[in-house]
Chains A and B, each alone.
Chain A
Amino acid sequence: MSQVDASILLEVRGLRKHFGDHLVLDSVDLAVPRGSIVSLFGRSGTGKSVFLKCLAGLLAPDAGKIQYDSESLGDVRMRCSYLFQSNALFDSLTARENVALPLEQTTRMGKSEIEQAALRALKSLGLEKFADHFPAQLSGGMQKRLALARALVTQPQMVLFDEPTAGLDPPARAAVFEMIVEYRHQFDFTAVIVTHDVAEALAASDRIALLEEGRIRFEGTSAEFGAADDCIVRSFSDNYVTIRPGFGK
């Protein structure tokens, strides 16, 4: 019987996924330590989002194993949240209703309890004044925070971020990563981030993984990533050496 490592929250072994003849993920292995922030890099079209969707159960892998805390995905759905690149907020619901939705539909909490929890989550992310606004009435950054509030309201153990800074300007991108680091401490979750923002991610993450041609080409700390000899890793790290001092700490 294999021994379970208690420090590992998510373990992926031999994950394979193909669409038609195109093999996207070819035996991907990854271990995500509990409480860490792991960023996943890779060139466009290398299957990063597909990998994340497999982790979230939105796509069924062709082969391989995904285990959260040694349990299968179906048992832990409520312990894992997903932040979509597009935020995927319900445009016909207010900010408060969007945040309350997962609690209303998946818990036995009372109406006032849900209301309080939703307002608490909005307040934590500085959105309490916008509780009755619709998503379209909020700025891009506020929509991102609202999506994060909805993801965190169920107090998940893990949050999966799919390109959380897509479409944002550089200051806003840094702010999103700062927000992830800050709320990771506040809400105590483990994060897996798919991103192209190497500089910000290197500063904010505990571990880095690089996906190349359907396989994990590199896995290690930010420092190891910066010092790696691998030519593909260097093509990422050499272009992003400037990291703001103190960022993410």
Chain B
Amino acid sequence: MMRLLQAVGQNSLAAATGVGDFAMFTSRAVAAASVTRHLGRRWVRAVHEQGVRCLPVVAIVGLFAGLVLGLQGYYVLSRFGSEGLLGTFVSLTLTRELAPVLASLMIVGQAGSAIAAEIGIHRTSEQIDALTTMGIDPIGYLITPRLFAALLVFPILTMVFSLVGLAGGYISGSLLLGLDPGVYWSAVHNAIKPSDFRECLLKALVFGVLTISICCHSGFTTHRRVGVAGSRAVSASTTRGVVLASTATLAADYLLTSFLV
């Protein structure tokens, strides 16, 4: 019993320390924006790394999500003779829930893993120490541009996901199953309110900062992985970053939704 209590206590302390360390890390990355030189150039590169490279996967997943929603929605709604509400169903599901969550998960899988691995390699090959000895703040140089890029990339890719998803719903609902296109698009138009749009953007921003910070932090602390070193530590950091960021996305989604609904 004592051992169990001890283990719970130790793990709780470790978790609290980890959260505190993560919060400090993110705060330092934000604060470093005011002193980091040539931040704009590195920000543009980070936007390309996160945004342009993730665009295809986000668009493809958005299309299939919309196709499936259109298909499932049509068959469920037709049981009640409410096929005309398909546009409402697809648009609200996408805007309020699926677009921010799935876009975030896709960006984490594509860009977040790459970020964690790259920063992990910087750590294991002493490049981060080299920055420190050159008088360059490694957090400002490596983390800040990526964090600020997420503020632009996540909302834009979430919007892309929503638009492509709506098109997917239209393809399966109207083109394949015969729902009148005017009924579909007018339901979409009437369903989405400014508050839904705001909720969608807010979620995208929160997920962006949270997930990219987690991936960056995971890579940055590669040297602290217990029991592994070198390439295995980089691999462990990448896995940890993706798993934590994905879990954090879903947990934050629940919290945000419960406050915003």
The answer on a CB contact under 8 Å between A105 and B127 is: no
Query: How would residues 237 to 248 of chain A score, 1 for a CB under 8 Å from any chain B CB and 0 otherwise?
Result: 000000000000
Of the listed stretches A29-37, A39-47, A77-85, A222-230, chain B binds A77-85
Query: Does A2 interact with chain B (Cβ within 8 Å)?
Result: no
Q: Smallest CB-CB separation from B133: which chain A residue?
A: A82
The answer on a CB contact under 8 Å between A86 and B126 is: yes
Bound Cα distance A90, B133 (Å): 14
Q: B109-127: which have CB < 8 Å to A?
A: 122, 125-127
Q: Given B38, B127, B132, B141, which contacts A58 in the complex, CB threshold below 8 Å? A: B132
Query: Does B130 interact with chain A (Cβ within 8 Å)?
Result: yes
Query: Does B178 interact with chain A (Cβ within 8 Å)?
Result: no
Bound Cα distance A23, B132 (Å): 25
The answer on a CB contact under 8 Å between A106 and B134 is: yes
Contacts of B36 in A (CB 8 A): 105
Query: How would residues 18 to 53 of chain B score, 1 for a CB under 8 Å from any chain A CB and 0 otherwise?
Result: 000000000000000000111000000000000000
Query: Does A63 interact with chain B (Cβ within 8 Å)?
Result: no
Q: How large, as a class, is the contact surface on chain A?
A: 20 to 34
Q: Smallest CB-CB separation from B126: which chain A residue?
A: A88
Q: A47-83: which have CB < 8 Å to B?
A: 53, 56-58, 77-78, 80-82
The answer on a CB contact under 8 Å between B38 and A105 is: yes
Q: Is chain A's interface secondary structure helix, strand, loop, or mixed overall?
A: mixed
Q: A94-109: which have CB < 8 Å to B?
A: 101-102, 104-106
Q: How large, as a class, is the contact surface on chain B?
A: 10 to 19
Contacts of B122 in A (CB 8 A): 90
A88-B126, A90-B127 given as contacts; is B134 within 8 A of A102 (CB)?
yes
Closest beta carbon of chain B to A188's beta carbon, Å: 20
A104-B37, A105-B37, A105-B38 given as contacts; is B132 within 8 A of A88 (CB)?
no
The answer on a CB contact under 8 Å between B127 and A106 is: no
Query: Does A154 interact with chain B (Cβ within 8 Å)?
Result: yes
Bound Cα distance A105, B138 (Å): 11
- Among B37, B132, B134, B135, chain A packs the most CB atoms within 10 A around the CB of B134
Q: Smallest CB-CB separation from B129: which chain A residue?
A: A58
Q: Smallest CB-CB separation from B124: which chain A residue?
A: A86
Contacts of A101 in B (CB 8 A): 134, 136
A104-B37, A105-B38 given as contacts; is B135 within 8 A of A88 (CB)?
no
Contacts of A77 in B (CB 8 A): 133, 135
Q: Smallest CB-CB separation from B132: which chain A residue?
A: A58
Contacts of A150 in B (CB 8 A): 134
Closest beta carbon of chain A to B79's beta carbon, Å: 56
A104-B38, A105-B37, A105-B141 given as contacts; is B127 within 8 A of A154 (CB)?
no
Contacts of B134 in A (CB 8 A): 81, 101-102, 105-106, 150, 154
The answer on a CB contact under 8 Å between B130 and A88 is: yes
Contacts of A81 in B (CB 8 A): 133-134
Closest beta carbon of chain B to A160's beta carbon, Å: 8
Q: Smallest CB-CB separation from B128: which chain A residue?
A: A88
A88-B127, A105-B38 given as contacts; is B135 within 8 A of A58 (CB)?
no
The answer on a CB contact under 8 Å between A84 and B129 is: yes
Q: Smallest CB-CB separation from A58: which chain B residue?
A: B129
Q: Smallest CB-CB separation from A59: which chain B residue?
A: B129
The answer on a CB contact under 8 Å between A88 and B136 is: no
Closest beta carbon of chain A to B155's beta carbon, Å: 28
Contacts of B127 in A (CB 8 A): 88-90
Bound Cα distance A53, B134 (Å): 13
Closest beta carbon of chain B to A143's beta carbon, Å: 12
A77-B135, A102-B135 given as contacts; is B141 within 8 A of A88 (CB)?
no
The answer on a CB contact under 8 Å between B126 and A57 is: no
- Known contacts A56-B133, A82-B130, A105-B141; can you find 13 more A-B pairs with CB under 8 A? A53-B129, A57-B132, A80-B133, A81-B133, A81-B134, A86-B125, A89-B127, A90-B122, A90-B127, A101-B134, A105-B37, A105-B38, A150-B134
11 A-B residue pairs with Cβ-Cβ distance under 8 Å, sorted by A, are A58-B132, A58-B133, A80-B133, A81-B133, A84-B126, A88-B129, A91-B125, A104-B37, A105-B36, A106-B37, A106-B134
Query: Closest 7 CB pairs between A and B?
Result: A88-B130, A82-B133, A77-B135, A88-B126, A102-B134, A105-B136, A106-B135
